[in-house]
Structure 1
Amino acid sequence: MNTEKNKNLYYLDDLSNYEVANEDKDVRGWNVKDNDGRIIGKVDNLLVNKATERVVYLDVEVDKSIIDANHKPYSQSAKDGIHEILNEDGDNHLIIPIGLAQLNLDSELVFINEINHQTFAETKRVKKGSPIYRDYEIIILDSYNRDKQAQEYEKDNAFYDRKEFKRKT
């Protein structure tokens, strides 16, 4: 059940007592490029796990080229004949685990070297500001890790100990 009690993530813009740490770069407003150097969107916000007190996702407003590709969202469960995951009108944001991002400070760009444009176009999107729950996080990780075997995901905050959430230095 998706309730406030089950909520793991909060948008940084909504947390008045939180800010980007001095040693980190605030990437909101920066363009995001895929592994082919194509712009896939712009960082609109950051998603924070309050229990671990760290940013775990970039909230990206996707480029029109992602929406225009009009791909159906990828799902591990689609292999079993279940096709309930859809992108609806107005779904123009997606989340990217912070550990997949590499920053170019000089050009103020975020590079996602492990994912291509088509994968982003096939990833389930959400409306701006929508609550993000674990079921959506799992859909995202499955979409980005689709070449790997089905994975088991931790149900508690150990979920954010995965390599996808380890910031690159």
Structure 2
Amino acid sequence: ERAGFVLVVVTNQAGVARGYFPESQVGVIHRHLEDEFARRGVAISSWKFCPHHPTEGEGTYKVACDCRKPSPGMLLQAAKELNLDLPRSFMLGDKRSDLEAGSRAGCRTVLVRTGHGAEEEPGILPGLTGFLGASDSLTDAARLILRAAERDAPTLNHLRALA
């Protein structure tokens, strides 16, 4: 944030489509996470989530949509709303679908080995453009991004997405 980054969280929430929890619960969880980040001095500028699933669920939630990662819809929407330059932005994630969404949106991508990241890492490289590397933590990912950003022009908009 001090380096001029804008933090946007994009997340698939197929549990809504599957009926595990209501869409309203997603906002409750996001507010809790936002409070946790704020306690650490990090502001989240925008939250985007996809409640859909292409083959499971009922009603309007059972749909193949443009927002569910690996589609770039949530990133494109955030970029439009916040006037972000996606080619000079970064997408962090722990799944190939996260990095594919970032790549399709034109972002540079970083795999974080937490969550699913370590098991997903062997399949990341083939065909993925804009991949910067893998990190063991969000802190290490931030360092990798800062090094990459230092090579860019000093006054850029950046999108950093967590999945």
* Structure with greater helix percent: 2
